[in-house]
Structure 1
């Protein structure tokens, strides 16, 4: 039977799994596959695995329990292998790589920051600060029938938005990266201009959260900053 793999840990990790359920309906029983100094927490994989709320919650609960007791390499939801022997083979063949990564993540947690700005607020700011954009807008509002004006204004605003968001994103990351060992950026969606994960040492968590609050205060109410964490370090495995 295929096995579902949750996380890789050092064999010395406590691996307290009592009271936790695995994925599937009915829930699968958790177990460990050992290979010298490493082990993987696994369960039997259901025949049809989908990201249902219960299964996502079960996956996350395993990661959080393991994370509370030591360093882990958390795998993303849905990772499976053919059987225990295949898991053991991977642990043996990539032992040095996994061990090195466990050492790099030791004492750390992931924090994920997303930030966006209200569209109307940004447009008002552009019209207030850009003479060219303000001039085009005034011509349109005065009743000009030149069909090129709206297009020119739209292109100018799009360029201004991109340039401003790039600067804001760089400033936000710069304000926080001093508290992190590593960072990984992803493509923002919607109105967001920042989507970045930080690997933060436990000793620096308070400073990191304080810096994020100061950044939010500095940007003001037109901005929406969302910080999630501490999380299993999915982005850094």
Structure 2
């Protein structure tokens, strides 16, 4: 008899950069397809899934602002980039038979539903994956903060952060082979040690809502499913 998943409803946060694969910018179709396969497999476990996808593979508001753009204007462009990524992910999920809805915090009725909390919850109850696009709809907030906000609003059991490595380390393990991986941390430890897995606003929001953050490697096929079953390598951020 197969084991039940340890979470019933989760939000998966994927960075825009994760969708680039080996490209310098834009979308790697192979990466999109593989992440969609992983999401499909988790949905097939009976888990309710929603997603937030960043836009850094197309445009980052912070980078635009550092280049001299008005920050609010640059963040607006970044929010639009997340809509493009959400539509791309919706395409691949639906190709695999997973019913999906995109809800945007910025009104664009011909492309996506407006964000309506109760409607989003109902979609998930019916087995649909909901992809939240356009961040919070406001400048000066990252998609990490948007992910924490939406996870709290949806009553998720956990916020999963898919990254380039299999958890939170003392340093970047790709640069420092002696870096050690944490199995579990508290929210305050993440902030005090400046581990930068998510921005401080997102960590604080998760802490206030007692929302566990689970960090794992989004590039490892099957890792999402493994985390749902309590297997594999990952780091959990939670208060004891």
TM bucket (normalised to shorter chain) is: under 0.3
TM-score by length of 1: 0.23
Q: TM-score, normalised by structure 2?
A: 0.23
Structure with the bigger percentage of strand? 1
Q: Between Structure 1 and Structure 2, whose CA radius of gyration is higher? A: 1
